[in-house]
Amino acid sequence: MPYTGRFAPSPTGPLHAGSLVAALASWLDARAQGGQWLVRIEDVDTPRCVPGADQLILHQLERCGLVPEKTVLWQSARDEAYQTALNHLIAQGWAYPCGCSRKDIEDAQAAMGHTRARHSAAVYPGTCRHGLKGKAPRAWRLDVQRVMNDLELTVPLAWQDRALGPQHQDVAQEVGDFVLRRADGLWAYQLAVVVDDGAQGITHIVRGADLSDNTARQIVLQQALGLHTPSYLHTPLVLGMNGEKLSKQNGAQALDLSDPLKALNQAAHVLGLLGQRPTVSASLALWVHAWSEATSLRQR
Ligand SMILES: [Zn+2]
């Protein structure tokens, strides 16, 4: 399959320094391997989206010379594809409705003697796996263990990350039966990403390390939907002054693109690309470009 990479921002605000690093890394990897680079707007979580942020992000990328080679895909227009995928999982017996509220899940965990670390997501205890027992259906979940068994996937699931090295996760134990369609009717991030990566023919995923924990769930879903598993590379995170990941939640400044080259240089610095001695071939390639620019200017 020809290399196809992507940058998939959520339009919850303009790009910040961290998202430019991810965008640049995915673009560079595609270029370095002679591949194509696509952009997908991940706007399934509509309550978190900011109107106009999608166009702003596309404009910011363009200012940095990062232009997608195919039409941009908006997840908000992909309802039918996600429904088809969910129907397939239901038909296989791999998805089931869940009637639990957040409190139901916490109570069930407490009853099982499970305590969870603060801030960590609750592992769903599987309450509705064998029937709703009179509760109204709220969300749809993936029966992870059943998919693993039926498809004879190894536990823990293991994969190779081009930057982080060998990775593994026991999805059933560490994550549990994760949500495919949320109780509020919105599509879950995991399902949308996997369906869209498949539809866009993505072969290489290059994204921030904060997303690496999703990889195992996405591989399980790819297997369940009969989709190809791409290669993965997770880039280092840009940390703020407080040592936490830069995000709009902890007050990351909007990216200043009055000088796009400066912003790109900062992103390249995070990726460890600055301070490298230019090679002969890289210099010649740069001069070829400069020569054609200079001569075409003279012709005008
Ligand atoms: Zn449930």
pLDDT for 249: 55
Q: How far is the CA of 187 from the centre of ligand 1 (A)?
A: 17
Q: How far is the CA of 61 from the centre of ligand 1 (A)?
A: 41
Q: How far is the CA of 111 from the centre of ligand 1 (A)?
A: 15
Domain residue ranges in the chain: 4-296
DSSP 214: G
Q: How far is the CA of 108 from the centre of ligand 1 (A)?
A: 10
CB atoms under 10 Å from CB of 196, counted, come to: 22
Write down the residue that tokens 């740069």 correspond to.
Answer: 286
d(CA 153, CA 145): 10
Q: How far is the CA of 129 from the centre of ligand 1 (A)?
A: 7
pLDDT for 56: 95
pLDDT for 160: 96
Q: How far is the CA of 182 from the centre of ligand 1 (A)?
A: 12
Q: How far is the CA of 126 from the centre of ligand 1 (A)?
A: 6
pLDDT for 273: 81
d(CA 139, CA 188): 10
Write down the residue that tokens 């996760």 correspond to.
Answer: 169
Residue 206 contacts residue 27 (beta carbons within 8 Å) = no
Q: How far is the CA of 81 from the centre of ligand 1 (A)?
A: 25
Q: Is 267 helix (H, G, I), strand (E, B) or coil?
A: helix
pLDDT for 225: 98
pLDDT for 116: 59
Q: How far is the CA of 30 from the centre of ligand 1 (A)?
A: 41
pLDDT for 40: 98
Model pTM above 0.85: yes
Kindly give, in sequence order, each residue whose CB lies less than 8 Å from that of residue 245, ignoring residues fewer than 6 positions away.
18, 210, 237, 238, 239
Q: How far is the CA of 291 from the centre of ligand 1 (A)?
A: 64
pLDDT for 239: 63
Q: How far is the CA of 98 from the centre of ligand 1 (A)?
A: 4
pLDDT for 298: 67
Burial class (CB in 10 A: 0-12, 13-18, 19+), 2: exposed
The domain defined by 4-296 folds into Rossmann fold (3.40.50)
Along the chain (300 residues), what's the average pLDDT of each consecutive run of 10 residues? 95 90 94 96 95 96 96 97 98 97 84 63 86 93 97 97 94 94 96 98 94 96 98 80 57 75 86 79 87 77
pLDDT for 205: 98
d(CA 47, CA 71): 25
CB atoms under 10 Å from CB of 113, counted, come to: 6
H or E element in which residue 199 lies: helix 189-199
Q: How far is the CA of 285 from the centre of ligand 1 (A)?
A: 58
Q: Could you tell me how far CA 33 lies from the centroid of its own chain?
A: 20
Assess whether the previous peptide bond of 97 is cis (omega < 30° from 0). no
Q: How far is the CA of 192 from the centre of ligand 1 (A)?
A: 21
pLDDT for 127: 92
Q: How far is the CA of 168 from the centre of ligand 1 (A)?
A: 26
Q: How far is the CA of 114 from the centre of ligand 1 (A)?
A: 16
pLDDT for 238: 65
Q: How far is the CA of 229 from the centre of ligand 1 (A)?
A: 29
d(CA 9, CA 99): 31
